[in-house]
Amino acid sequence: MADGDVSSVDVIVEEAAAVQADRFVEVNYDDAIPNNVDLSSDRQLLRALESWHPGYLEWWQEMGPDGFQDFEVYLRTAVGVDPAGWAKFGYVKMPEYRWGILLAPKQEGRTIPCGKHKGEPAWQEVPAEYRALLRRLIVVQADTEPASVEQQRHLGRTAPSLYDMRNLFQVNVEEGRHLWAMVYLLVKYFGRDGRDEAQALLERRSGHQDNPRILGAFNEATPDWLSFFMFTYFTDRDGKMQLAALAESGFDPLSRSCRFMLTEEAHHLFVGETGVGRTIEATCTAMNKAGITDPYDVAAIRALGVLDLPMLQRKANFHMAVTRDLFGSEISGNAAAAFSAGLKGRFNEAKLTGDDHQLEDATYTVTRVVDGEFVNEEVPALRAINSRLLDDYIDDCQGGIDRWNKIIEKAGIDFRITQPHKGFNRRIGEFAGQRITPAGEIVTDEEWAETADLYLPSTEDLVFLNSLMQPSHEAGAYATWIAPPRMGINQQPVDYEYVKIA
């Protein structure tokens, strides 16, 4: 990013600190499964996790990063949950990474922040009446974690630098740790059912015909690095929103687990934001050097070995639409049930002011399509929980987009990345089945077919993008289409040997 911008590093560190304002608990790394949950005192649980562990490692070997498992990677490992110093850095071979179980510290006297049980002490055990609903919430979250590792498994081979390769692997091992975090909850609190679910998590496969991952976006391919950066910016941000909502859960172990996961998630968002930002920077710099001022002079721009901005917009459109679908139907009885039960809150639930956190009588404005027109309808707020989380997500996406636009503006190029209309290209929820342009016009199927290539990546776009995906695997080398980062990881230089490729 250009000098003088608000550094996204600062923003993200702030985000992390905000969600993780708790204190320190020791983690014992002598244990086979590092943890701060006193695993050694619960023999039955320890045995259950130990018997899941080999299957996990097999899954990692089979479905984790393809081809780089024997190399030393400069990785961050969580060693505590203290925001001031929770991680250490060092070279690790990925299969030897210490996936641990870490919960944010217990907040004494914590109460259920929302729903019918608001104000009652947070549950330390699964409330019997909500057992099935709670298990489902945990399983759906858990399933996304290994899914993204599977989606990204071929990317190492085309990494645009060792720095980026290391960031990819960092994200991958942490998604693995998130799986551990959720499996711990399933195995500890859900008995036999939980163990079965933990096993099934190792068996589903992203994009598999017969046994796919649960949610649509997690069955899409992540075939190239731009997709990876868009995924970590937009789709990991769905992860952030879901984790934030689950961090408000009245089921305290889930809340504590998600609070710590959010700390790691901040890095994934950073990888996405800076990855797209650096791509934009390389494009703008190359255009300026070549004296190209028109961002739509696509052939000339592509000849420079960089990605044109209109195509970046189309890629962003695609990822935004697919990710918005992850929020589910805007109006949802299940979401109402989870909120009322106190199992899942809204974004920042405990800090929200202005309502009673029970929402029995409240309403929320939801945009729907009625007879081919948009209408804003007041619906019971309880049934609009998903709609609200989606709206909060869309707001949350804007900060990074504004910072991308600053890079373009500073380069003096007349182009802005924007978010498409909420209904654009949706498959789930209120807008499914409608043809809605990014500008928010409802059009016919014929009109859509004629113009879709303006809004979504065309085959030609993808072929060109793919042609740029050549490995750049020497320390300090960066592919033409992406600018080097402003600083390295853990204060190392940008030409550090982040992955030791023998």
Cβ-based burial of 133 (10 A; exposed 0-12, middle 13-18, buried ≥19): middle
CB nearer to Fe ion: pick between 267 and 346: 267
In this structure, are residues 25 and 107 in contact, taking their beta carbons and an 8 Å threshold? no
**Pattern 355-384, Fe ion, x by CB under 5 A:** ------------------------------
Cβ distance to Fe ion smaller for residue 227 or 425: 227
Question: Least distance in Å: CB of 225 to Fe ion?
Answer: 16
DSSP per-residue string spanning 351-391 = G--SS-SS-SS-EEEEEEEETTEEEEEEEEGGGGHHHHHHH
Chain centre to alpha carbon of residue 158 = 21
Instruction: Give, as one character, the DSSP assignment of residue 69.
Output: T
CA distance 462 to 460: 5
In 3D space, the residue among 248, 254, 240 whose CA is nearest the CA of residue 136 turns out to be 254
Q: How far is the CB of 40 from Fe ion (least distance, A)?
A: 26
Does residue 178 touch Fe ion according to CB under 5 A? yes
Count of C-beta atoms within a 10 Å radius of residue 372 = 8
- The nearer residue to Fe ion, 138 or 301, going by C-beta atoms, is 138
Q: Which one, 178 or 357, has the nearer CB to Fe ion?
A: 178
User: 256, 267, 268, 357: which one contacts Fe ion (CB under 5 A)?
Assistant: 268
Q: How many residues bind Fe ion (CB under 5 A)?
A: 7
User: Among residues 257 and 313, whose Cβ is nearest to Fe ion?
Assistant: 257
Which part of the chain contacts Fe ion (CB under 5 A), choosing from 113-121, 176-184, 304-312, 487-495?
Answer: 176-184
Instruction: Name which of 238 and 461 has its Cβ closer to Fe ion.
Output: 238
- Find out whether 36 and 257 touch, Cβ atoms under 8 Å: no
* Residue (of 239, 124, 88, 232) closest to 178 by Cα position: 239
Residue 243 CB, nearest distance to Fe ion (Å)? 8
Q: Which is nearer to Fe ion, 238 or 308 (CB)?
A: 238
Q: Hey, CA dihedral for 454, 459, 463, 466, is it positive or negative?
A: positive
Question: Could you tell me the smallest distance in angstroms from the CB atom of residue 408 to Fe ion?
Answer: 27
Binding-site string for Fe ion from residue 124 to residue 163, where x marks contact by CB under 5 A and - marks none: ---------------------x------------------
Q: Which helix (H) or strand (E) holds 72?
A: strand 72-78
Q: Is 76 in the site for Fe ion (CB under 5 A)?
A: no
- Say whether residue 236 binds Fe ion (CB under 5 A): yes
Q: Would you tell me which residues interact with Fe ion (CB under 5 A)?
A: 145, 175, 178, 236, 239, 265, 268
